[in-house]
Structure 1
């Protein structure tokens, strides 16, 4: 495959100069096009040219003005100025405009003339190679980015599947624990329903609802490693037994800790027995240190405990429990959460709507 000859554009207002230089360049094997002035150069120029030779002193648009216009086109074609008058001012101005070299006329030394042309051609070759390299690099980056995006989508899918599998496994363990205790059976389900009821009543965003749901599901998971016999015993618990049970929030938080995607849930689980006045456990945090999701779990967990049957006491009615929540607002419970919950729970039936979005939507529409 033969290479196409290099292409040169000459601009000079003297037809004799254009003709002479064209013949010399053609003798060296170049393809030559000519223009009589700067306007002709701008009309003829495109990215196929390898070198431009410009006369400096041309009418209407001189070589310098033409050079400025060429720079704006961003073809990166080397420009050699053709002049018969050597001047330092010309040289400085040409260099500042980005000229590659100078050619003097008349041309006396053909070898030097050809060397300058070849060097300009080499520069053009390097410019084109760099351009091709950048385009190839950009294509490669796009391909790699597409591959990374696809891999990232697969990782996200895998991560989501892993999260779901983890949650399902933990739910099974939680259910197995509750099945051992007649008195706390269904507690997690009811607390989760109450939490969702309160969260939706407060118009929490879906992302917060997801965290709230999981925190409610696993708020008592620490009891998995506690001897349930002390919970099931008749009568009140001893101080030692209470100390053991009071460990379940911190134990549950430690169980959740390795699951990086449940860092918010870990905080809620650890602190769901704190109080607004700082007299709760395990860390004695006050209300200003607790987020809204934790305050929600504190309220609904206590409400279900009060309204559920225990072996050492009778359960409260809904009215009695709500009265107790209101009575302890500001000390044990956050008043805002209690007010929202009291308004929402009146017509709510736990159990029949467990994680049922359609039922929950209908419930909120009918009660708001």
Structure 2
């Protein structure tokens, strides 16, 4: 709330002038503080003052030096210069230094004097009001920003919870598929481990490794809606059975599609049977169209398929499988990816941390049913 009296500071080295101006100001109802020079002004000035009246010609520190020092304090208190018949140079200099107005001495017209003082007080009131409004606005913005931050945290937490719940549901679907064919369970786990190992060896950041591991974990999810009896039979697949099996990448991508947070995984899952020469499926993409994570999954998926025992063929040894990877580099596989994989697979130790505990439990539960 505004105080009843305005607080005015006057500085003049003439005792008579100080006394006279002070009495006039007090007559108009103001609280007056009078000092002899600019240094005294700087010692007592604070934001509680409404107006400052300065004599120009004061010893030691004149009015111009004083207003310059006041400007540095950034108090925004209106300064009126009290002067006699000064030159135009004084007026120009005072205005350039930010003087609000001028008062002539001796004071002859009290009404004009009072009007100038009141206008200066109103200016100060406006400055203080603007400062309060700005401070309140800044406080309001900070409060709104804090509220928005808290809401964003809640939304992020909810999003992560929903994402985790969705991945757990996907894992349950994966487990249902693996109960139909345990080879797929072991294959999925190994491919995910190989992918995580190779991704780290190639220097991918953790966020990319998370995408790669999740894509590997669900890369065969499309087989969930495909009759796997043809995979389990001894002997080679017929042309019709191959057509059916080759649908699983696109089917898997369609299952992942509605999950907005797995857009990159969807691409990898759809294209994990592509070739760098463009002769893969389902889209016939070539090496330039495939990202590095997809190239990794293509290599590790093929490696595990070659080194795993199936009903219709014997598994290859590590050495022979790596030779096959190199033999097909530049056509089926990316050479740089194969080279890095061959250097790291020899001393590879499986790391089950790439899977959730629920997923691993589901895998071994499926195995025990066999």
Q: TM-score range by the shorter chain?
A: 0.7 to 0.9
Contact 1:307 1:321 in 2 (8 A): yes
Which of 295-304 and 238-247 deviates more? 238-247
Partner of 2:132: 132
Which of 19-28 and 194-203 deviates more? 194-203
Partner of 1:64: 64
Partner of 2:114: 114
Contact 1:257 1:266 in 2 (8 A): yes
Residue 203 of structure 1: how far off its partner (Å): 4.3
Which of 59-68 and 271-280 deviates more? 59-68
- Matched pairs, number: 357
1:104 to 2:104 alignment = yes
Contact 2:79 2:101 in 1 (8 A): yes
| Counterpart-to-counterpart distance in 1, 2:135 and 2:198 | 57
Check 1:73–1:185 CA distance in 2 against 1; reply closer, same or farther (3 A cut): closer
Partner of 1:208: 208
Check 1:97–1:238 CA distance in 2 against 1; reply closer, same or farther (3 A cut): same
1:281 to 2:259 alignment = no
- Provide the secondary structure at the position in 1 that maps to 2:227: coil
Residue 197 of structure 1: how far off its partner (Å): 2.7
Residue 282 of structure 1: how far off its partner (Å): 2.2
The gaps in structure 2 that reach 5 residues or longer are: 358-370
Residue 13 of structure 1: how far off its partner (Å): 2.1
Partner of 1:21: 21
- Provide the secondary structure at the position in 2 that maps to 1:107: coil
Contact 2:193 2:352 in 1 (8 A): no
Residue 234 of structure 1: how far off its partner (Å): 4.6
Check 1:251–1:342 CA distance in 2 against 1; reply closer, same or farther (3 A cut): same
- Provide the secondary structure at the position in 1 that maps to 2:9: strand
Partner of 1:365: none
Partner of 2:303: 303
| Counterpart-to-counterpart distance in 2, 1:132 and 1:217 | 59
1:263 to 2:263 alignment = yes
| Counterpart-to-counterpart distance in 2, 1:232 and 1:355 | 26
Residue 349 of structure 1: how far off its partner (Å): 6.7
Residue 350 of structure 1: how far off its partner (Å): 5.8
| Counterpart-to-counterpart distance in 2, 1:2 and 1:222 | 75
Partner of 2:290: 290
Partner of 2:92: 92
Residue 338 of structure 1: how far off its partner (Å): 2.3
| Counterpart-to-counterpart distance in 2, 1:197 and 1:270 | 21
Residue 232 of structure 1: how far off its partner (Å): 4.0
Deviations 1:67-115 (A, max 9, x none): 1111111010011111221544333332222211111111112122112
| Counterpart-to-counterpart distance in 2, 1:126 and 1:183 | 80
Deviations 1:108-131 (A, max 9, x none): 121221121111111111111221
Partner of 1:152: 152
Check 1:117–1:354 CA distance in 2 against 1; reply closer, same or farther (3 A cut): closer
User: What RMSD over aligned residues (CA atoms) do the two structures have, in Å?
Assistant: 2.6
Deviations 1:47-72 (A, max 9, x none): 12110011223234332222111111
- Provide the secondary structure at the position in 1 that maps to 2:184: coil
Contact 1:190 1:351 in 2 (8 A): no
Deviations 1:288-330 (A, max 9, x none): 3322221111111111212223333333333332222222122
The gaps in structure 1 that reach 5 residues or longer are: 358-368
Which of 157-166 and 190-199 deviates more? 190-199
Which of 232-241 and 298-307 deviates more? 232-241
Instruction: Spell out the pairing of 1:31-70 with structure 2 (5 A cutoff).
Output: 31-70=31-70
Give the TM-score, by structure 2 length: 0.87
| Counterpart-to-counterpart distance in 2, 1:350 and 1:112 | 93
| Counterpart-to-counterpart distance in 1, 2:31 and 2:207 | 68
Partner of 2:172: 172
| Counterpart-to-counterpart distance in 1, 2:303 and 2:261 | 28
Contact 1:8 1:49 in 2 (8 A): yes
Check 1:64–1:349 CA distance in 2 against 1; reply closer, same or farther (3 A cut): closer
- Provide the secondary structure at the position in 2 that maps to 1:186: helix
